[in-house]
């Protein structure tokens, strides 16, 4: 998230391929929930990311701010969890808002 | 110095100078051109019957992420670790994503291109906000901005043409931040 320096993804927007891969056969275990992850990027503004989390998910300002800070300082945050189709929908809505999001099984 | 947007009782007033409005309109127009490149690929498998009976084929025929870094930033993969699942999700969602981004960019371009700058309601302002963000994603990706723009600028030669891009980028941050602030206070 834009503003300060030195966070995990400060080298620019990382391509998803560059990220660490979990073991392939861990992916499709049916009983583990799916999660939507938002990744840090150097372009989206902190205030914008917080605003988007409130608008898309109905989160309070406090919760949205905490998630934004996780994205910024830890490099990523889990922003929602649930059924795979729901998470695909969340990812599509986040992409529509310009955030960099992926889904995976937790 | 006047802020680029201001909330009034009647709506959100756009207070960009004519040259500023024209500049953003031009960027929005360029974004529309870029998104056009993605329109055919987003249509999915060529033969709908093949798709229906499951003959759409292996990954080779699935929609691939755009090769252009700006487009792949605007239309990213949905899975970090699964190209096939990303392609399938892209097939289902990319055309809506592209048309949503096009609609927002068009609203911004047409509004700023009008004889008299419009008074925005909440919904229009949100559309503009998304389009402004996409403009920054496009320009920022082209410039390969990092979270240390001052450091990047220090490493550029005085006559490097990218300096103008960085200046534009930083100005767009201010423009967008003003609009976020106004929408956030509602």
Q: Which residues of A touch B92 (CB under 8 A)?
A: 88
With a CB-CB cutoff of 8 Å, which residues 22-61 of chain A face chain B?
A: 22, 24, 27, 37, 42-45, 47-48, 51, 55
Provide the pLDDT for residue B124: 97
In this prediction, residues A70-76 reach a mean pLDDT of 98
Q: How far from chain centre, in Å, is Cα B4?
A: 19
Lowest-confidence pick of A9-13, A21-25, B54-58? A9-13
In this prediction, residues B18-44 reach a mean pLDDT of 86
Indicate whether A58 pLDDT > 80. Answer: yes
Determine, for residues B146 and A42 on separate chains, whether the beta-carbon distance falls below 8 Å. Answer: yes
Task: Return the DSSP state at B3.
Answer: -
Indicate whether A13 pLDDT > 80. Answer: no
Of B76, B141, B183, the CB nearest to A95: B76
CB B31 within 8 A of CB B132: no
Distance from the Cα of B131 to chain A's closest Cα (Å) equals 9
* Nearest CA among B40, B61, B38, B65 for reference residue B50: B61
* Distance (Å, whole) CA B174 – CA B16: 12
Q: Which residues of A touch B147 (CB under 8 A)?
A: 1-7, 10, 42
Provide the pLDDT for residue B58: 44
Of the residues B74, B79, B80, B165, the best mutation for testing chain A's interface (the one with the most A CB atoms within 10 Å of its CB) is: B80
Q: Return contacts of B14-17, CB within 8 angstroms, 24+ apart.
A: B14/B111, B14/B112, B14/B117, B14/B118, B14/B119, B14/B120, B15/B117, B16/B112, B16/B117, B16/B175
**B122 near A CB under 8 A:** no
* Nearest CA among A57, A38, A54 for reference residue A98: A38
Distance from the Cα of B50 to chain A's closest Cα (Å) equals 24
Indicate whether B59 pLDDT > 60. Answer: no
Indicate whether B6 pLDDT > 70. Answer: yes
Task: Return the DSSP state at A12.
Answer: S
């Amino acid at each position: 998230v834009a503003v300060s320096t030195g966070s995990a993804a400060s080298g620019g927007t990382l391509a998803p391929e560059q990220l660490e891969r979990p073991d392939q056969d861990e992916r499709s275990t049916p009983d583990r929930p799916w999660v939507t992850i938002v990744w840090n990027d150097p372009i989206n503004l902190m205030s914008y990311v917080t605003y988007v989390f409130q608008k898309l998910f109905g989160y309070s300002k406090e919760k949205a701010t905490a998630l934004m800070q996780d994205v910024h300082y830890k490099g990523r945050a889990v922003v929602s969890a649930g059924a795979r189709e729901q998470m695909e929908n969340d990812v599509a809505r986040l992409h529509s808002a310009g955030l960099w999001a992926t889904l995976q099984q937790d | 110095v006047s802020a680029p947007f201001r909330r009034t009782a009647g709506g959100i007033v756009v207070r960009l100078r004519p040259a500023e409005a024209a500049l953003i309109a031009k960027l929005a127009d360029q974004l529309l051109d870029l998104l056009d490149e993605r329109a055919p690929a987003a249509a999915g498998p060529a033969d709908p019957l093949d798709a229906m009976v499951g003959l759409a084929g292996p990954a080779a025929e699935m929609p691939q992420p755009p090769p252009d870094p700006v487009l792949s930033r605007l239309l990213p993969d949905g899975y970090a670790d699964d190209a096939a699942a990303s392609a399938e999700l892209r097939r289902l969602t990319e055309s809506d994503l592209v048309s949503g981004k096009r609609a927002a960019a068009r609203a911004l371009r047409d509004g700023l291109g009008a004889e008299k700058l419009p008074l925005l309601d909440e919904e229009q302002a949100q559309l503009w906000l998304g389009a402004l963000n996409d403009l920054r994603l496009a320009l920022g990706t082209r410039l390969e901005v990092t979270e240390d723009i001052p450091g990047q600028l220090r490493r550029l030669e005085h006559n490097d043409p990218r300096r103008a891009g960085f200046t534009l980028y930083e100005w767009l941050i201010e423009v967008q931040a003003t609009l976020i602030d106004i929408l956030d206070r509602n």
